[in-house]
């Protein structure tokens, strides 16, 4: 058979397979409402999907349909969007037995061959073991270790970096997040600014996370593409996969091996790798657990980059765009902490406005606006609607946190919505545990770590710096800041903006920082 005949035969097989899949997966008539009245053969509702900012578009579509959830199909895949928190709780929490699996990103799990990430791992024994290993060290009851490391990196790294270069806040935030997580995970010394391993990790994780971008790799929608021979056209994704795999495995092995060397020499602080390995070193399955620890360590290190950086940059944007909220937070910090020391976690409960402001940051721009998708493992019925097996279920955190019936003027940044009589208003849903970090058994296990970093960065910076728009010319005209956000593979980041951080005139900033300016490594 010649090449042309082979290609023709392959094309016919693909068409027949796709048609069979189409007819085999036609939805029953009582599925939830759909935003498109017509389904194309094979493609389903693909042409009706929003091209960008799906979380915003899905909120509007739900409002147009008058429904708290709606359903559509793309290339034979069933997808359910939930815009209401009570529906999400009913399904993802109360019926978690069939809603706790994850859809597989074939580019990541099959082509690249990385199957151990929390976000894509199917619900089962492997997931439970990995999560158990994570929680044994990073549970909320062990948060003091996170607090002390975050304070250390804020004082010895973040604030001195800002002192040295006040307009590179994005780079300083990345250095802070990468440094804290690298130290917590592997116990390795970190260069105060532009650490080589932190820099390399950011680049690798950004490349790997891009495998989840809609439309970037068609193999995620058409898994059979992975079986096409490499010599055929349109198989460049395979070489991408091999390169990403090499980078990820190298990044997993190198810091882990360095931690092992430091453990042998007795020169390692308390960290996830050291504590976890010591706990299992006398067990019969040590090698298996060692592999698990290594895999979890890579995830701890990687997850923080996009999510925590997105949250912290949203904080900086909010302060630059809303100076009145910034001033209120600074006044509260000064009244509680005074003028002669830097804030720490012992001050947190005495700072209701700051806490309200941080809740508003998470509500205003949810860092994972569409949540991490769930997958049904069985058919289900809800309020008279049929939800099929293997249906991808997405809880639209943006829609829930911008629900006008709960949060008045949801597009407005207004920390006061969480305050009543000078205290946190417990009658308003708290974004700390309301949609922001997911639902059910797959809720983010490290949310308390992210919240800790958000708090210490906020109070540390606001205690000594003013955040304002950057200046555009020699006359000192400020560049207007119009808050805009862009959805990435999973997270939602502020669009690039320019701001400057200047030492507060009412504070002895040099005196507050003098003990922390000389560190090259932390």
Residue 500, beta-bridge partner list: 468
On whether residue 479 sits in a domain, the answer given is yes
- DSSP output for 483-496: --EEE-SS-EEEPP
How crowded is residue 284: how many other Cβ atoms within 10 Å of its Cβ?
8
On whether residue 126 sits in a domain, the answer given is yes
On whether residue 10 sits in a domain, the answer given is no
Number of domains the chain contains: 1
In the prediction, which pLDDT does 10 show?
Answer: 47
By three-state DSSP, how is residue 219 classified? helix
List the beta strands (DSSP E) in 428-487. 465-469, 485-487
On whether residue 15 sits in a domain, the answer given is no
Backbone dihedral region of 187: left (phi > 0), alpha (psi from -120 to 50 degrees) or beta?
left
On whether residue 495 sits in a domain, the answer given is yes
pLDDT (tens digit per residue) in 270-328: 999 999 999 988 888 999 999 999 999 999 888 778 899 999 999 999 999 999 999 99
pLDDT (tens digit per residue) in 455-466: 999 999 999 999
In the prediction, which pLDDT does 143 show?
Answer: 96
4 vs 216 pLDDT, higher one = 216
In the prediction, which pLDDT does 7 show?
Answer: 44
Which tokens belong to 124?
């089962």
Domain that holds residue 68: 25-513
pLDDT (tens digit per residue) in 396-448: 999 999 999 999 999 999 999 999 999 999 999 999 999 999 999 999 999 99
CATH number for the domain including 428? 1.10.630.10
- Residues 6 or more apart whose Cβ sits within 8 Å of residue 187: 259, 262, 268, 269, 270, 271, 273, 274
On whether residue 371 sits in a domain, the answer given is yes
On whether residue 2 sits in a domain, the answer given is no
pLDDT (tens digit per residue) in 354-391: 999 999 999 999 999 999 999 999 999 999 999 999 99
Kindly provide the b/e burial profile for residues 451-465, where b requires at least 16 CB atoms within 10 angstroms of the residue's own CB. bbbbbbbbbbbbbbb
On whether residue 521 sits in a domain, the answer given is no
Query: Is 13 known to sit in a ligand binding site?
Result: no
In the prediction, which pLDDT does 15 show?
Answer: 55
Query: How many Å apart are CA 71 and CA 277, to the nearest integer?
Result: 45
Which tokens belong to 10?
């392959």
Q: Write down the mean pLDDT value for the chain.
A: 92
Backbone dihedral region of 383: left (phi > 0), alpha (psi from -120 to 50 degrees) or beta?
left
Place 27 in a pLDDT band, splitting at 50, 70 and 90.
low
């Amino acid at each position: 058979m010649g090449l042309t005949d082979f290609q023709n035969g392959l094309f016919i097989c693909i068409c027949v397979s796709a048609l069979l899949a189409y007819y085999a997966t036609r939805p029953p008539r009582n599925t939830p409402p759909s935003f498109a009245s017509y389904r194309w053969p094979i493609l389903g509702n693909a042409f009706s999907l929003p091209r960008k900012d799906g979380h915003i578009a899905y909120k509007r579509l739900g409002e147009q349909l008058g429904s708290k959830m709606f359903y559509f199909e793309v290339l034979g895949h069933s997808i359910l969007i939930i815009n209401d928190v009570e529906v999400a709780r009913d399904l993802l929490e109360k019926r978690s037995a069939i809603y706790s699996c994850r859809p597989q990103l074939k580019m990541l799990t099959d082509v690249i061959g990385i199957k151990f990430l929390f976000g894509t791992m199917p619900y089962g024994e492997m997931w439970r073991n990995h999560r158990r290993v994570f929680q044994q060290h990073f549970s909320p009851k062990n948060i003091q270790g996170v607090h002390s490391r975050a304070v250390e990196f804020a004082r010895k790294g973040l604030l001195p970096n800002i002192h040295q270069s006040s307009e590179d806040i994005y780079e300083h935030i990345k250095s802070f997040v990468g440094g804290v997580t690298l130290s917590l995970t592997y116990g390795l010394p970190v260069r105060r600014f532009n650490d080589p391993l932190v820099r390399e990790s950011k680049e690798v994780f950004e490349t790997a996370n891009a495998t989840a971008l809609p439309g970037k790799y068609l193999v995620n929608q058409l898994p059979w593409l992975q079986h096409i021979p490499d010599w055929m056209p349109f198989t460049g994704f395979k070489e991408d996969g091999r390169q990403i795999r090499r980078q990820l495995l190298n990044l997993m092995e190198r810091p882990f091996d360095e931690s092992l060397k430091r453990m042998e020499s007795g020169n390692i602080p308390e960290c996830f790798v050291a504590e976890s390995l010591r706990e299992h070193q006398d067990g019969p399955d040590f090698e298996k657990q060692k592999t698990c620890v290594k895999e979890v360590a890579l995830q701890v290190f990687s997850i923080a980059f996009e999510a925590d950086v997105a949250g912290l940059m949203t904080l900086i944007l909010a302060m630059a765009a809303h100076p009145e909220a910034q001033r209120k937070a600074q006044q509260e910090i000064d009244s509680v902490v005074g003028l002669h020391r830097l804030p720490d976690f012992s001050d947190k409960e005495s700072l209701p406005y700051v806490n309200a402001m941080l809740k508003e940051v998470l509500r205003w721009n949810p860092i994972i606006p569409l949540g991490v998708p769930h997958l049904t493992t069985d058919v289900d019925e809800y309020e008279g609607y049929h939800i099929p097996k293997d249906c991808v279920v997405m809880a639209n955190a943006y829609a829930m946190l911008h629900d006008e019936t709960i949060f008045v003027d949801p597009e407005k940044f207004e920390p006061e919505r969480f305050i009543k009589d000078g205290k946190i208003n417990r009658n308003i849903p708290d974004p700390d545990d309301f949609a922001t970090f997911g639902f059910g058994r797959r809720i983010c296990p490290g949310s308390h770590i992210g919240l800790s970093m958000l708090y210490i960065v906020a109070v540390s910076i606001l205690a000594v710096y003013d955040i304002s728009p950057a200046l555009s010319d020699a006359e000192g005209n400020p560049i207007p800041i119009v808050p805009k956000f862009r959805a990435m593979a999973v997270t939602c980041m502020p669009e690039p903006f320019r701001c400057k951080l200047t030492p507060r005139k009412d504070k002895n900033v040099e005196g507050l920082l003098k003990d922390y300016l000389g560190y090259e490594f932390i």
